[in-house]
Amino acid sequence: MTGDAPLVAVLDYGSGNVHSAVKALQAAGADARLTRDRGLVADADGLLVPGVGAFAAVMEQLNGIRGGELIERRLSGGRPVLGICVGMQVLFDRGVERGVETEGLGEWPGEVTRLEADVVPHMGWNTVAPGEGSVLFRGVEDERFYFVHSYAAQSWSLDVIPPFPAPAVTWSNHGGPFIAAVENGPLSATQFHPEKSGEAGVQVLRNWVGSLRD
Q: What are the catalytic residues?
A: 85, 193, 195
Q: How far apart are CA 24 and CA 19, in angstroms?
A: 9
Q: How far apart are CA 50 and CA 58, in angstroms?
A: 9
- Closest C-alpha to 103, from 159, 53, 62, 51: 62
Distance of CA 55 to the CA centre of its chain: 13
Q: Which residues pair with 67 in a beta bridge?
A: none
Q: How far apart are CA 107 and CA 68, in angstroms?
A: 10
